[in-house]
Amino acid sequence: SEGKIISVVGSGLIGRSWAMVFLSGGYRVKIYDNQPGQAARAAQEVRKQLEELQQAQMLRGQLSAAEQFALLSSHDDLPQALEGTFFVQECVFEELEAKQSIFQAVEAHVGESVILSSSTSCLLPSAIFSRVQNRTRCIVSHPVNPPYYVRLVELVPHPETLPAVMDSTHAVMTRVGQAPARLSKEVDGFALNRVQYAIIAESWRLVKEGVISVQDIDLVMTEGLGMRYAFIGPMETMHLNAPEGLGDYLQRYREGMRRVLSSFGPVPEFSGEEAKSITQEMCDLIPSDQQHLSARRERRDQLLMGLAKLKK
């Protein structure tokens, strides 16, 4: 990464996190925002967070907080922010029009070989990059919040993306210590949200049907499935859970899995009376005022920090 420049376009929550991740890998980072002064404020926030992480001995990478911060510059001017870059990570609002126009603007200021990467959570690459001329260098790199502790990045190609662009993006992400997962083609929700929504849907149905409480379905995850899922995915879980591995697991459990799966109900509405009563049950456990929610978010980040340490 010696001297190589990555441009981060959009300096909100995710832009700042990406900047910190790239700095940890020793890249020079130029952060840009179209709100005047916003990128500079973001840089100061990054400085503060790097120092706090250093104090907590959670700073990533080989460089000190001061050394990492010295690699960061902030810009209100797009061409300046793109000068010398080899990789652009876009983190603007999750709006199709905003993404399409920023990539059109970015392309006008960078060479053919510069990789254009989007942080989008749920827009498809074929939609986001529709106004880019050379779409072979376009890719989605979808992070999970907060990317500093949760290392997965889903790499999702545009139908025209070159394999070399996927490989280079994979190499950048690996170098900075993220855990890139490749999708071979675009699909609505990518992989993470498809799995997440499957879990949410069945949890919702069980609560709605009065089978289990909000509190206890969360326990099923935190004290059950979640215990292994931080280390062992669903495929390896099956492989380990029968004496002779996956083939054996299928022999034993195929019918049971199919029976249970075919009893799942339709996609929930997530609205009306059911939403009202489930929301109420959740708010009785954790009130939805800012004080309670912030405290729980802080707890979440502390726990994720501890887990990241453990996984190392």
In whole angstroms, the minimum distance from the beta carbon of 99 to ligand NAD comes to 7
CB of 16 to ligand NAD, least distance (A): 8
- Report the C-alpha gap between 142 and 89 in whole angstroms: 10
Subset of residues 130 to 159 that bind ligand NAD, contact rule: CB under 6 A:
142-143, 145
Strands 72-75 and 85-90 come out as: unpaired
Residues in the chain: 312
Binding to ligand NAD by residue 44, rule CB under 6 A? no
Site for ligand NAD in 226-265 (CB under 6 A): none
Residues numbered 171 to 210 that lie near ligand NAD (CB under 6 A) are none
Alpha helices in the chain (DSSP H): 13-24, 38-55, 65-70, 78-82, 96-107, 125-128, 163-175, 192-208, 214-219, 226-229, 234-240, 246-261, 272-285, 290-311
Cα–Cα distance, 127 to 29 (Å, whole number): 27
**H or E, element range at 154:** strand 152-157
For ligand NAD, the closer CB: 35 or 64 = 35
Residue of 1, 4, 34, 162 that binds ligand NAD (CB under 6 A): 34
The verdict on 116 binding ligand NAD (CB under 6 A) reads no
Terminal-to-terminal C-alpha distance of the chain: 22
Judged by beta carbon, residue 85 or residue 120, the one nearer ligand NAD is 120
* Residue 118 beta carbon to ligand NAD: minimum distance, rounded to whole angstroms: 7
Q: Which residues contact 64 (CB under 8 A, 6 or more apart)?
A: 54
Q: How far is the CB of 33 from ligand NAD (least distance, A)?
A: 5
What does the DSSP assignment read for 240-263? Answer: HSSTT-HHHHHHHHHHHHHHHHTT
Among 5, 53, 88, 91, binds ligand NAD (CB under 6 A): 91
For residue 76, give the H/E element and its range: none
Residue nearest to ligand NAD (CB): 12
The span of 10-18, 180-188, 209-217, 228-236 binding ligand NAD (CB under 6 A) equals 10-18
User: Which residues sit opposite 7 in a β-bridge?
Assistant: 30, 88
When asked if residue 96 is in the footprint of ligand NAD (CB under 6 A), the reply is: no
**Residue placing its CB nearer to ligand NAD in the complex, 41 or 228:** 41
How far is residue 90's CA from residue 39's CA, in Å, rounded to a whole number?
14
Q: Of the two residues 54 and 104, which places its CB atom closer to ligand NAD in the complex? A: 104
Which residue stretch of 53-61, 91-99, 206-214, 260-268 sits at the interface with ligand NAD (rule: CB under 6 A)? Answer: 91-99
Q: With contacts defined by CB under 6 A, how many residues of the chain interact with ligand NAD?
A: 23
> Contact with ligand NAD (CB under 6 A): which of 1, 121, 168, 241?
121
Q: What is the DSSP letter of 27?
A: -
242 C-beta neighbours (distance < 10 Å), count? 15
Q: Which residues bind ligand NAD (CB under 6 A)?
A: 9-15, 33-35, 38, 91-94, 98, 102, 119-121, 142-143, 145
